[in-house]
Amino acid sequence: MAVVPGLVEQAPGARPRRRTRRRSPFLTALPYLVPSLLIYGYFIVYPMLDSVRLSFYRWSGFRTEEPEFVGLDNYVRLFTQDPVFWKSFGNSVIWVVLSLAIPMLLGLLLALALNRQMVGRSLMRSVIYIPSVFASITVAAMWRWIYNPTLGMVNQLLEAVGLGAWTQTWLGDPKIALYSVFAASVWQAVGFPMVLFLAGLQSVAQELVDAAKVDGANAWQVFRNVTLPALRPTTVVVVILTIINSLKVFDLIVGMTGGGPAQSTQVLALWSYTQSFTNHSFGAGGAVATVLLLLSLCLVIPYMAWSMKGDGK
């Protein structure tokens, strides 16, 4: 319920009206908003918009030279003369699809399994969740060692079980490097969807499950008709966050391959960075960043609208 200004002050015995009550609500709110909005606006919003502006300029990023306006030139080059851009775009898409397929489904399965009473349940949950607490750059360093061609765990294990022929240079082969990096991301990321699904499962009414069982439904029918519909809102959240987090992948790739070998693990976020800082082309970097921004907004804005609906007062 809304406070009606002017009603409260009429209450008998109230102190004399404070001046602040007569100001518009926005003026009262302003001092509370200023620090956050100033910092957020100046260090996040402004640089992001500036990336869009820079995408219409040719500029090396050096102070000594002035940015030169070139219109859509950077975009034309990006779409027609930059094979790496399409490679990174494709890799980003692959990453999104794989992330929706593997960690999300695995997270759902683990949540369903670990939702039952069993010995060691909380320990299992923790062990699977802990990797997602670590810095991605740390996980990258770990997995570089795991993938070490001669001494790493993966190849040594293959040798030990007699599959020596299967050993690979996991991070050195352009055909498989992206999938090797992705495997490390599965290990790190699966805890997050698992925890969200576990929380979602708490909202499944036990009476419904019991009633369905009394009616003779088997486990699959219960899952299909009771559990799954109850998980729908959770699933929306997990899908969107999985896609967004896939577009953000950066540290893990920098740490494991730096985008190589032969750009085979290049993704949009890293290619934008590489164009700006390594190739000294802030215009091209800005153009890639703008593409990434538009992609993200296409997902985030509908999601925000969905998650904030029913919150009006």
Partner 1 sequence: MSHRIATPAPVVVDPRAGDVTAPTPEPRRRDYAGIGLWIALVLTTLLWALPFAIMFLTSVKSNADISATDPWALPTSWAWSNYAEAFEVGKLGTTGLNSLVISLIKVPLGLFFAAAAAYAIARLRFRFHRLLLAVIAVGSMVPIQIALGPLFNTMLELGALDSLPGLMLPYLAFGIPYAVFVLYGFFRAIPDELEESARIDGASTFRIFIQIILPLAKPALAALFILDFVGTWNEYAMATTLLRSQDNWTVPLAVQSFSTQHGTDYGPLNAFIIMSAVPVLIVYLMFQRYFVQGALAGAVKG
Site for partner 1, residues 184 to 203, rule: CB under 8 A = 187, 192, 195-196, 198-200, 202-203
Interacting residues with partner 1 between 96 and 115 (CB under 8 A): 110, 113-115
Cβ closest to partner 1, residue 98 vs residue 154: 154
Kindly determine how many residues on this chain lie close enough to bind partner 1 according to the rule CB under 8 A.
125
If phi over 0 gives left and psi between -120 and 50 gives alpha, with beta otherwise, what is residue 12?
A: beta
164 near 231, Cβ under 8 Å? Answer: no
40 near 247, Cβ under 8 Å? Answer: no
Cβ closest to partner 1, residue 176 vs residue 299: 299
Q: How far is CA 41 from CA 29, 271, 273, in A?
A: 17, 25, 21
If phi over 0 gives left and psi between -120 and 50 gives alpha, with beta otherwise, what is residue 167?
A: beta
**Distance (Å, whole) CA 269 – CA 273:** 7
Q: Please pick, from the candidates 78, 98, 128, 181, the single residue that binds partner 1 as defined by CB under 8 A.
A: 128
Choose the stretch contacting partner 1; rule: CB under 8 A; options: 81-89, 93-101, 153-161, 174-182. Answer: 153-161
Interaction of residue 166 with partner 1, rule CB under 8 A: no
Interacting residues with partner 1 between 216 and 235 (CB under 8 A): 233-234
Choose the stretch contacting partner 1; rule: CB under 8 A; options: 71-79, 80-88, 119-127, 168-176. Answer: 119-127
Neighbour tally for 24: CB within 10 Å: 9
Cβ closest to partner 1, residue 3 vs residue 175: 3
**Distance (Å, whole) CA 274 – CA 91:** 16
Q: Please pick, from the candidates 6, 22, 47, 97, the single residue that binds partner 1 as defined by CB under 8 A.
A: 47
273 near 285, Cβ under 8 Å? Answer: yes
**Distance (Å, whole) CA 247 – CA 10:** 55
Among residues 182, 222, 221, 211, the alpha carbon closest in space to that of 93 is found at 182
In the complex, minimum distance from the CB of residue 39 to partner 1, in angstroms, rounded to a whole number: 5
DSSP state for residue 261 in the 8-state scheme: S
Q: How far is CA 306 from CA 141, 263, 300, in A?
A: 38, 37, 10
Q: Please pick, from the candidates 108, 226, 253, 270, the single residue that binds partner 1 as defined by CB under 8 A.
A: 270
Q: Please pick, from the candidates 78, 177, 181, 269, the single residue that binds partner 1 as defined by CB under 8 A.
A: 269
Q: Please pick, from the candidates 6, 48, 80, 218, the single residue that binds partner 1 as defined by CB under 8 A.
A: 48
Q: Please pick, from the candidates 32, 66, 83, 161, the single residue that binds partner 1 as defined by CB under 8 A.
A: 32
In the complex, minimum distance from the CB of residue 82 to partner 1, in angstroms, rounded to a whole number: 17
Choose the stretch contacting partner 1; rule: CB under 8 A; options: 75-83, 128-136, 162-170, 174-182. Answer: 128-136
Cβ closest to partner 1, residue 31 vs residue 83: 31
